A and B are shown apart, each in its own frame.
Chain A
Amino acid sequence: EAGVTQFPSHSVIEKGQTVTLRCDPISGHDNLYWYRRVMGKEIKFLLHFVKESKQDESGMPNNRFLAERTGGTYSTLKVQPAELEDSGVYFCASSQRTYGYTFGSGTRLTVV
């Protein structure tokens, strides 16, 4: 089966611009998660979707971040406007049950 796919793999944008990250989960996985790793720090939970519904978005840093999951399939994470501290690697993961994630390769976001 295909794994979790994230696009783009790298993005370099200027402060104040908008960036949209996309995640395609494993087909049939109802649970989709976004995590972020800022350079050298821990991987931190951002939010969890069950199908198209946000189950928990307690990890979202602020209202500049907007996540959506269209029809319970792929998900997007938009950062608008981007700030320097948003730089990091954004991971998406999916699972059938609530444990045993499969992670994607991540999107490395650099805000300059």
Chain B
Amino acid sequence: GQQLNQSPQSMFIQEGEDVSMNCTSSSIFNTWLWYKQDPGEGPVLLIALYKAGELTSNGRLTAQFGITRKDSFLNISASIPSDVGIYFCAGSTTSGTYKYIFGTGTRLKVLA
């Protein structure tokens, strides 16, 4: 089946540093989503991308829908301790779909 390769698997960074993570696929996607999961909670949607090349920001977070439609990245600038969690990319190959394929997650730890 379709898979999303998400990297890195985990990151340890110092508070204030910038972070970058990405997802790649062998298939073309029509939608890319980025979620964050805090410990003991469910994933929460951070950013949704619907067009190739689209660059969208949400506060200190910026995500881009790759031109090839097979990848996406998420950047976090000036990290803070509450950025700790697991970040998941998700995508769909059909517009308006209900079913998303998720990556394996990037576990982020921020050292104060």
B90 neighbours in A (Cβ, 8 Å):
43
User: Which of the 9-residue segments A65-73, A79-87, A91-99 touches chain B?
Assistant: A91-99
Are A105 and B41 touching (Cβ within 8 A)?
yes
CA distance A110 to B106 in the complex (A): 23
Task: Report A's interface with B, CB cutoff 8 A.
Answer: 4, 9, 31, 33, 35, 40-45, 48, 55-56, 59, 91, 93, 95, 98-101, 103-106
Q: Measured between alpha carbons, how far is A22 from B50 in the docked complex, in Å?
A: 32
Residues of B bordering A, CB below 8 Å: 3-4, 31, 40-45, 48, 88, 90, 96-105
A41 touches B104 (CB 8 A): yes
Pairwise interchain contact A43-B96, C-beta atoms closer than 8 A: no
- Give CA–CA (A82, B103) in the complex, Å: 26
Using Cβ atoms and an 8 Å threshold, which residues of chain A touch B42?
A: 4, 91, 93, 103-106
> In the complex, what residue of chain A is closest to B9 when comparing beta carbons?
A40
B96's nearest neighbour on chain A, judged by CB, is A98
- What are 10 A-B residue pairs whose CB atoms fall within 8 Å in the complex? A42-B103, A45-B101, A59-B99, A95-B98, A99-B97, A99-B98, A100-B45, A104-B42, A105-B41, A105-B42
| Closest-CB distance, B48 to chain A (whole angstroms) | 8
Contacts of B105 in A (CB 8 A): 42-43
Min CB gap B29→A, angstroms = 13
A residues less than 8 Å from B40 (CB atoms): 9, 105
B98: contacting residue among A4, A9, A42, A98, CB under 8 A: A98
Residues on A with beta carbons closer than 8 Å to the beta carbon of B4: 42
CB B92 to nearest CB in A, in angstroms, measures 8
Please name the residue on chain A nearest to B50 by beta carbon: A99
Instruction: Give the chain B neighbours of A31 by CB distance below 8 A.
Output: 98
A103 in contact with B98 given A40-B104, A41-B104, A42-B104 (CB within 8 Å): no
Shortest CB distance B6–A (Å): 8
B96 adjacent to A103 (CB under 8 Å): no
Q: How far is the CA of A91 from the CA of B55 in the complex (A)?
A: 29
